[in-house]
């Protein structure tokens, strides 16, 4: 077992016994299945509607940028939570 | 489809062998009912986003029904007809006197008066998915308008349509409830045609259609057998066992073995079966294995009993090639074995390990070079993670992706990505009013003013510029917040 293995198994153990134990699969108020079902309906509705504006608006571009913004904001949010937890532990 | 067929064949052989061996012991003479597949398609082998037209058994006339990963009844793919599209799914060149069509249906949006028909050419009858006037959909046949079996929106439902030489009927719930038998034109079905207008959206999956010989659903008042290879005589016992091997170096392996049995409820009451499971290999890790017993059917029909044997190793538990086993189940002579309806070995997440630099072979060196080489290998090896460790952390990360809020964020992000990929810039402006659809003429915006310049293109260019400016502003603000 290499040093890298020990490091990986340690990180793995931490994840297995902290986040994986604590984090739920479904959020209160809306289960993951309900969310995906809603999103699917939303997709089916919005795709036809947005396609209608494709001749004057860069719809695909706007949506792609929304995905980028959403991902970046979520990452920053996660980072802030991590910093908050670290500060909370340090006191 | 080939994949599914291979699995079905292998499992059918397995269970035939098991049943045959036992039958040999007790000396039975089985009644054989043969079935011939016409269409067996789970859409898993097709490329996501492609039309099913001309693929598998589907006729080239099919249009707009495309392979999708947004929903799936089994596996990861289904076929979708998006709201706003006119979709067909036809199979031509048939000659079926007695048979059935069996598939899973997932309605997503249905306008009033919108209709998706399943038309059986030759016998000239049709079964309809019809808008019920309040945003829902009913399953009925010609002339019933809003009357019929109510279907649940955004839910997979098991549709069966069966017919013999003179009559047909249909079920919205996998044979639990049936319409009354109705007469049709009385000719062999020459093609099965699904078609409708563009005011409804749905998914279909796990499509099975077969001809049946030696069995008449009207003369025999039972739920017809599905995927039948052999039905053992009622007095003969049947036994079956199964194992699931979870391949090495795969995380989150998941398996599913399903077998159907039938039992007549007029002779025997419903019962629950307890199927003990055991795990060999990978004992140092947790695992989950479940069995499901489903009993359905009423009246003079057979009870259908199915069990699912499924297992998922704990995250990272890919070691020792674990096998989940089910012991030999001595189904007594009150049971009739029907079929294997699902195949094992479905791996959810294939573990992908990063390529690593291999240690150098030092045998080619001698003296000080060999010492240096081995020292270098020692240092390098100390920091070289093993495949086992990488697979374990990979499995843990996969498990983490299924937890809130990561799974929610991924789903939302994926949804926007899907919308961005499927938006058709050239589709025009379509609207619907009371079931009537129309497309606005946008040719004014796309008319060439010379040199390829159009009004629509110019507006689009200006909007693109403003969108990029806004994105740039957001980017600067984001960097400011990151570096703060």
Interchain CB contact of B392 with A (< 8 Å): yes
Minimum-distance CB partner of B481 among A2, A67, A76: A76
Q: Decide: B388 and B319 in contact? Cβ < 8 Å.
A: yes
Whether B284 has its CB under 8 Å from any CB of chain A: the answer is: no
User: Under 8 Å CB-to-CB from B313, ≥6 apart: which residues?
Assistant: B246, B251, B252, B253, B282, B285, B287, B322
The whole-number pLDDT of residue B270 equals 40
Decide if B404 and A64 are in contact by the 8 Å CB cutoff: no
What pLDDT is stored for residue B225 in this prediction? 39
Q: What CATH code is carried by the domain that includes residue B172?
A: 2.60.120.560
- pLDDT of B87-144, one tens digit each? 877 888 788 887 778 788 999 988 877 778 888 888 888 998 888 877 788 888 877 6
In a domain, B266, yes or no: yes
| Same domain as B201, residue B266 | no
**Does residue B183 share a domain with residue B107?**
yes
Average pLDDT rounded to a whole number, residues B401-420: 81
Please answer yes or no on whether B399 and A24 come within 8 Å at the CB atom. Answer: no
Residue B344: both structure tokens together: 């094992």
* B109 is a domain residue: yes
Distance from the Cα of B400 to chain A's closest Cα (Å) equals 6
* Same domain flag for B337 and B475: no
- Lowest mean per-residue pLDDT among B45-54, B153-162, B280-289: B280-289
Task: Give a yes or no: residue B439 inside a domain.
Answer: no
* A and B: number of Cβ contacts within 8 A: 181
Whether a cis peptide bond, with omega within 30° of 0, leads into B134 is no
pLDDT at B217: 56
Query: A-chain residues within 8 Å CB-CB of B474?
Result: 69
- Give residue for tokens 């902290």: A18
Of B153, B187, B213, the last residue of a domain is B213
> Cβ of B48: how many Cβ atoms within 10 Å?
12
> Of A38, A54, A63, A10, which Cα lies nearest the Cα of B430?
A54
Residue in B with minimal Cα distance to A42 = B415
- Examine the domain organization and report whether B83 and B208 are in the same domain: yes
ipTM: 0.81
Q: Is B276 exposed, middle or buried (0-12, 13-18, 19+ CB in 10 A)?
A: exposed
pLDDT attached to residue B244 = 43
Q: How far lies B17's CA from each of B9, B184, B230, in Å?
A: 12, 40, 11
**Nearest CA to B312 among B349, B341, B276?**
B349
Question: Which residue does chain A place closest to B440, by CA atoms?
Answer: A52
Q: Are residues B205 and B274 both part of a single domain?
A: no
A28 contact B CB<8A = no
- The answer to whether residue B48 is domain-embedded is yes
> If you search the block for the tokens 């009371």, which residue do you land on?
B434
Average pLDDT, chain B: 66
Q: Is residue B162 part of a domain?
A: yes
Residue B417 and residue A63: Cα distance in Å, rounded? Answer: 7
Within a domain: B132: yes
Least confident span in B297-311, B349-363, B405-419: B297-311
Distance (Å, rounded) from C-alpha B482 to C-alpha A79? 9
pLDDT over threshold 90, residue A64: no
pLDDT at B419: 80
E strand or H helix at B25, and its extent?
Answer: helix B2-26
User: Are B385 and A32 within 8 A, CB to CB?
Assistant: no
Specify whether B72 is located in the same domain as B209: yes
User: What does the DSSP 8-state code read for residue B469?
Assistant: H
Cβ(B228)–Cβ(B33) below 8 Å: yes
The count of domains in chain B is: 3
Q: B299 and B174 in one domain?
A: no
B466 CB within 8 Å of a chain A CB = no
Q: Shortest CA distance to B270 belongs to which of B290, B296, B292?
A: B296
Q: Kindly state whether residues B168 and B285 are assigned to the same domain.
A: no
Asked if A31 has any chain B CB less than 8 Å from its own CB, the reply is no
Residues B168 and B46 reside in one and the same domain: yes
Contact A8 B390 (CB under 8 A): yes
- Say yes or no: B115 and B263 in one domain: no
Element (H, E) at B348: strand B346-349
Based on the fold, state whether residues B180 and B263 are members of the same structural domain.
no
Gap from A18 CA to chain B (nearest CA, Å): 11
Pair (B206, B325) in one structural domain: no
Find the Cα–Cα–Cα–Cα dihedral B66, B37, B331, B277, rounded to 10°.
-30
Candidates B416, B425, B411, B407; CA nearest to B71 is B411
Do residues B428 and A50 make contact, with C-beta atoms less than 8 angstroms apart? Answer: no
Helices B387-401 & B406-422 angle (0-180, nearest 10) = 80
Q: With bands split at pLDDT 50, 70 and 90, how would you rate the model's confidence at B426?
A: low
Q: Do B393 and A12 touch (CB under 8 A)?
A: yes
Domain that holds residue B452: 447-484
Nearest residue, CB atoms, A32 vs list B71, B108, B407: B407
Pick the last residue of a domain from B191, B213, B235.
B213
| Mean pLDDT computed over B233-242 | 34
Structural domain ending residue among the three candidates B320, B349, B378: B349
Whether chain A has a CB inside 8 Å of the CB on B411: the answer is yes
CB B115 within 8 A of CB B128: yes
Does some domain include residue B473?
yes
B107 touches chain A (CB under 8 A): no
C-alpha B97/C-alpha B91 separation (Å) is: 15
What pLDDT band is residue B406 in, cutting at 50, 70 and 90? confident
| Binary contact (A55, B446; C-beta < 8 A) | yes
């Amino acid at each position: 077992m290499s040093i890298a293995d020990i490091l990986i198994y340690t990180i793995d153990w931490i994840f297995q016994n902290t986040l994986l134990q604590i984090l739920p699969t479904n959020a209160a108020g809306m289960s993951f299945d309900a969310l995906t079902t809603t999103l699917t309906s939303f997709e089916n509705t919005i795709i036809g509607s947005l396609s209608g504006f494709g001749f004057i608006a860069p719809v695909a571009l706007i949506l792609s940028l929304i995905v980028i913004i959403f991902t970046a904001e979520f990452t920053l949010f996660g980072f802030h939570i991590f910093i908050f937890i670290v500060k909370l532990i340090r006191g | 489809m080939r994949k599914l067929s291979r699995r079905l064949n292998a499992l059918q052989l397995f269970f035939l062998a098991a049943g045959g061996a036992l039958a040999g012991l007790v000396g039975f003479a089985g009644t054989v009912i043969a079935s011939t597949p016409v269409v067996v398609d789970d859409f898993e082998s097709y490329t996501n986003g492609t039309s099913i037209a001309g693929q598998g058994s589907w006729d080239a006339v099919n249009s707009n029904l495309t392979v999708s990963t947004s929903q799936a009844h089994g596996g990861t793919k289904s076929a979708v007809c998006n709201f706003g599209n006119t979709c067909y799914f036809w199979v031509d060149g048939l000659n079926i006197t007695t048979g059935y069509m069996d598939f899973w249906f997932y309605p997503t949006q249905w306008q009033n008066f919108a209709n998706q028909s399943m038309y059986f050419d030759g016998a000239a009858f049709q079964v309809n998915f019809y808008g019920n006037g309040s945003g829902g959909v009913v399953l009925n046949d010609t002339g019933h308008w809003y009357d019929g079996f109510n279907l649940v929106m955004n839910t997979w439902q098991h549709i069966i349509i069966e017919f013999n030489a003179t009559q047909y009927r249909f079920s919205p719930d996998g044979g639990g409830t049936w319409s009354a038998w109705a007469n049709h034109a009385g000719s062999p079905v020459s093609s099965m045609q699904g078609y409708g207008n563009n005011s409804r959206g749905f998914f279909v999956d796990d499509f099975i259609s077969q001809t049946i010989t030696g069995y008449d659903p009207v003369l025999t008042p039972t739920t017809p057998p599905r995927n039948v290879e052999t039905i053992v005589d009622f007095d003969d016992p049947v036994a079956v066992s199964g194992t699931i091997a979870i391949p090495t170096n795969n995380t989150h392996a998941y398996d599913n073995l399903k077998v159907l049995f039938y039992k007549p409820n007029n002779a025997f009451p419903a019962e629950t079966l307890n199927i003990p499971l055991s795990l060999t290999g990978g004992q140092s890790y947790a695992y989950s294995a479940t069995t499901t017993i489903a009993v359905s059917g009423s009246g003079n029909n057979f009870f259908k009993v199915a069990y699912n044997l499924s297992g998922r190793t704990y995250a990272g538990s890919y070691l020792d090639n674990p096998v989940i086993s089910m012991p030999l189940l001595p189904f007594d002579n009150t049971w009739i074995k029907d079929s294997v309806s699902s195949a094992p070995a479905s791996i959810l997440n294939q573990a992908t390990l990063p390529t690593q630099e291999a240690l150098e072979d030092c045998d080619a060196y001698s003296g000080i070079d060999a010492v240096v080489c081995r020292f270098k290998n020692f240092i390098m090896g100390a920091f070289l993670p093993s495949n086992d460790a990488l697979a374990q952390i990979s499995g843990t990360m996969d498990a983490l992706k299924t937890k809130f809020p990561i799974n929610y964020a991924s789903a939302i992000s994926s949804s926007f990505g899907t919308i961005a990929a499927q938006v058709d810039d050239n589709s025009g402006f379509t609207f619907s009013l009371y079931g009537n659809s129309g497309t606005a003429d946008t040719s004014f915006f796309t008319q060439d003013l010379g040199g390829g310049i159009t009004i629509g293109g110019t507006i689009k260019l200006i909007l693109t510029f403003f969108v990029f400016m806004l994105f740039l502003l957001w980017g600067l603000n984001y960097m400011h917040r990151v570096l703060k």
